[in-house]
Chain A
Amino acid sequence: MKHIISVLVENEAGVLSRVAGLFSARGFNIESLTVAPVGDGDTSRITLVTTGDNNIIEQINKQLNKLIPVIRVLDLTDGPHVERELMLIKVAAQGDKRAEVLRIADIFRSRVVDATPNAFTIEVTGDSGKLDACLALLEPLGITESVRTGKVAISRGSKGIRKEPKG
């Protein structure tokens, strides 16, 4: 089963390779991984999407916690949460197709962030299914390239990821 795991880490050199190295060394899957500093910048938040049975997910959770610079690990899949992904798509569109591209962009509430006489670049945000659907519709119109951030996610409700020490 697919799990979205949030990892709050010290924002220091080498943390990402510790996390990525853990996954490759132990043979765990990573479907996507995003990382950026949060708060006052002394911590970073990693969101990673992985798959595995309950035992594997439990190991992933424990192994992540064991890494020294990891402050907190949260499996967002355990509770209600919001997930979002951002995608930029470049569509080579000329003539009649240009209007069609804009119509589709509109349906997905996406924005045109770059326009040239023979191409549009569109920014779409949403859950992964929405991004997949958008891609599928634009595909016949000629996608030159696309790029996705991978999922970021946050739990619903008032509680935040705790920053106090482990243990």
Chain B
Amino acid sequence: MVKLTGAEIVVQTLLELGARTIFGYPGGAVLNIYDEIYKSKELKHILTRHEQGALHAADGYSRVTGEVGVALVTSGPGATNAVTGLATAHMDSIPMVCISGQVPSALIGNDAFQEADTVGITRSCTKHNFLVKDVNDLARTLREAFFIARTGRPGPVLVDIPKDVTINTAEYSNNGGQVDIRSYRPTNKGHSRQIRRVMDEILAAKRPLVYTGGGVILADAAEDLTTLIRTTGMPVTNTLMGLGAYPASDKQFVGMLGMHGTYEANMAVHNCDLLLAIGARFDDRVTGKIAEFAPEATIVHLDVDPTSISKNVVVDVPVVGDVKSVLEALNVMIKESDFKEKQPDLSDWWQEIDVWRKRECLRYPAKEDVVMPQMVVETLFKVTEGDAIVVTDVGQHQMWAAQYYGFDRPRRWLTSGGLGTMGYGLPAALGAKAAKSDQPVVLITGEGSLQMNIQEFATLAQERLAVKVVILNNNFLGMVRQWQEFFYDNRYSEVDMTVTPDFLKLADAYGATGLRATRPEEVEKVLRQAMETEGTVIVDIHTDREANVYPMVPAGAALNEMILL
């Protein structure tokens, strides 16, 4: 067996595990690793302008590909800058591995230069983390990190490597990424008796509703979900994280549910007699007032993570297992039984839903002189023919993107759903584009969020990655302003964003193209121009300053208590 240095082992093991593109930022503790990256012809490294950007880029890369995203940062400030990226991925269960440098083993605990207790700091925002003290453990640890990141309920894993470990040598041989962790064996197959109970519950239901989350996307189970929905005729709603799991253009899709979900989706949750939750976690933004959530329903929950079951809402029929394998088994069971003959007629239920649909809860007033933000997203959908990879930041624009851009396919919608990280968008779009260079990547953002990681325009320029950035610019931190309007008597405390960079000049400064629209009739033209122009384009669209996101379930209210426009 050959002896390699720790730094060589890092690069070799990453290649062994299938990583080809990583995102990072160098520094003292990772110099040896960067020296090996310099020598490697196979491992591509993208230098972001901030470690947070590297983490979000790896996250975006993972969300569009389904692979483990990889980030590399140095010790101390490199690692602390990575924390928000880890926490974002952790909340959304995104498989990622972050390698951080650490001061030499002998100096750990000595308050050395650029030392931070990285394993301590990141313990609660990773699925798991490791400190590698011995170079002989390095390859195994990296393999375990990848395995833990992508199996079970996925999540980010951090591997902290002291500098001396990158110099020391150990034997290395490619083992194809095999691991055996006796204390970690995630459940994959669902219990067949439980799956049969799920089928029985569907057969007993007169008003069923399927509610799916990010888990369906993560498990690559969108096709299996679609089969289930089509064969059973049930209505389906997706969470923010679950958009694209079922075609939004299909009539069985009732829209997103939750705080800014559709009226029909939320009323269906409130009135259903069976709620079939798949790869979702009953987040407070979805359930509203928990005591009045789906009050009449038998609740069935399919999830790979047992801790998600009965955490917020008591579940009547739990099925623990990989969502894809459970759905496959359920579909086979339905196909091979006399399901069709036995299933109750759902037409009365659909009639009820159609009455709710007629409220047209997503309608908004058009204005003659002012651009409505909702119209921008609708126009973008039209211009991109609904087939762009859409990335967002966090706030009103995020909700409008979710409501008005209908996703027909999975892994084309990237948003920080759980943590709600402003500044996620630009680096995540960068990561998505690095993975899918042949597909259009559009970032829908606000003038507030964009400024939180605006430095990544330089990375886009350096890597010649083209992202179309659409700013819904209302010169307000819009979502906070909306809450202040609704719940704080219009006291707009510290939400004014009138002062921003001139985005046209900014585009110019970063070698991108800048476009602007201030009137409704200009919107389609600039969006078409943006999509047709080569390279990164920043489209600054001045929108109605005080437009609100409707419908809305106020925090703490039940889902049937929506504020409609």
**What residues make up the interface of A, taking CB atoms closer than 8 Å to B?**
9-10, 13-14, 17-18, 21, 25, 55, 58-59, 62-63, 65-66, 68-71, 164-167
Contact = CB atoms under 8 A, between A and B. Distances in A.
B307 A166 contact: no
Interface string B115-129: 000011001100110
B183 A166 contact: yes
A59 B311 contact: yes
Given A68-B183, A71-B183, A62 B124 contact: no
A18 B123 contact: yes
B535 to A, nearest CB: 44
Interface string B483-517: 00000000000000000000000000000000000
Given A62-B307, A63-B307, A71 B181 contact: no
Contacts of A9: 183
For B120, B127, B183, B184, the residue with the greatest tally of chain A CB atoms inside 10 Å of its CB is B183
A17 B183 contact: no
A55 B307 CA distance: 11
Classify the interface of chain B: helix, strand, loop or mixed.
loop
B187 interface: yes
Interface in B181-216: 181-187
B123 A17 contact: yes
A65 B153 CA distance: 13
B307 A165 contact: no
Most chain-A Cβ atoms within 10 A of its Cβ — which of B127, B131, B306, B314? B306
B310 A68 contact: no
B318 to A, nearest CB: 11
Given A62-B306, A68-B128, A166-B183, 13 more contacts: A14-B123, A14-B131, A55-B314, A58-B310, A62-B309, A63-B307, A66-B305, A68-B127, A68-B148, A68-B181, A68-B183, A71-B182, A166-B184
B124 A25 contact: yes
Given A68-B148, A165-B183, A14 B119 contact: yes
Contacts of B310: 55, 58-59
Given A65-B306, A66-B305, A68-B148, A167 B128 contact: no
Nearest to B152: A66
B542 to A, nearest CB: 43
Nearest to B186: A167
Of the four ranges (under 10, 10 to 19, 20 to 34, 35 or more), the interface on chain B belongs to 20 to 34
A25 B125 CA distance: 11
A53 B513 CA distance: 59
Contacts of B119: 14
A69 B183 contact: yes
Contact of B185 (A55, A69, A166): A166
Nearest to B183: A71
Contacts of A25: 124
A18 B128 CA distance: 10
B312 to A, nearest CB: 10
Interface string B282-325: 00000000000000000000000111011100100000000000
Contacts of A69: 183
B408 to A, nearest CB: 34
B185 A165 contact: yes
Contacts of A13: 131
11 contacts: A14-B123, A14-B131, A17-B120, A25-B124, A62-B307, A66-B306, A68-B148, A68-B181, A164-B182, A165-B183, A165-B185
Given A71-B182, A165-B185, A59 B148 contact: no
A21 B307 contact: no
B251 to A, nearest CB: 38
A71 B124 CA distance: 20
A84 to B, nearest CB: 27
Contacts of B314: 55
Contacts of A66: 305-307
A78 B165 CA distance: 46
Contacts of A70: 183
A25 B162 CA distance: 28
B35 to A, nearest CB: 29
Contacts of A14: 119, 123, 131
B185 A167 contact: yes
A165 B131 CA distance: 23
